[in-house]
Amino acid sequence: PSPSQREEETRHTLATEPFQPILKVLADLEHDDSKFAFPAARLVGLYRRLWESCVSKHIDVQKIDQSNEILKEAGTYPRKERDGLQLHHDKQLARLRFFGQALESSRERLINLPDDWNYPYSPNLAGLTDVAKE
């Protein structure tokens, strides 16, 4: 049987099986008191329709829950992959900032180097002050 046929059989079984004992009681009641049997059968019929709708809704909710679980599991891998990529991106940004700061610091030192050479009493070039005096 196909999945839809199995599902329909399950719905039918869950909807009718609980009422089998009461149907026997109603059959006996019809022989004993036919006036009381009709309203009782009507009440059981209404309750059975209500029960069928509850069973149907319960099965539908189970199917939705299963589908949601499958979607959650399918979404776990992309989420982990995204988190890994974000972490890699954040690390690269941190490295880029570090190298940017190092480059700026080196640039400032290179810009100031000619000034240090031209100034005869520079504390940065203490060993070269004698050469500058000559």
- How many Å apart are CA 7 and CA 13, to the nearest integer? 10
Residue 107 lies in a domain: no
Show the tokens assigned to 64: 């939705």
Residue given tokens 């069928």 in the structure block: 52
Quote the number of domains for the chain: 1
Q: Report the interhelical angle of 34-118 vs 20-32 (nearest 10°).
A: 160
pLDDT, residue 95, reads 95
pLDDT, residue 89, reads 94
Residue given tokens 């180097």 in the structure block: 113
Residue 124 lies in a domain: no
Residue 47 lies in a domain: yes
pLDDT above 70 (res 78): yes
Show the tokens assigned to 43: 């009440």
pLDDT, residue 134, reads 46
Residue 119 lies in a domain: no
| pTM confidence score | 0.49
pLDDT 10s digits, 83-98: 999 999 999 999 999 9
pLDDT, residue 102, reads 93
Residue 61 lies in a domain: yes
124: pLDDT confidence band, cut at 50, 70 and 90? low
pLDDT 10s digits, 21-72: 998 998 898 888 888 888 999 999 999 999 989 988 998 999 999 999 998 8
Residue 59 lies in a domain: yes
Of 87-96, 99-108, 109-118, least confident by mean pLDDT is 109-118
Residue 133 lies in a domain: no
Range of the domain at 90: 3-100
What type of residue sits at position 116? D
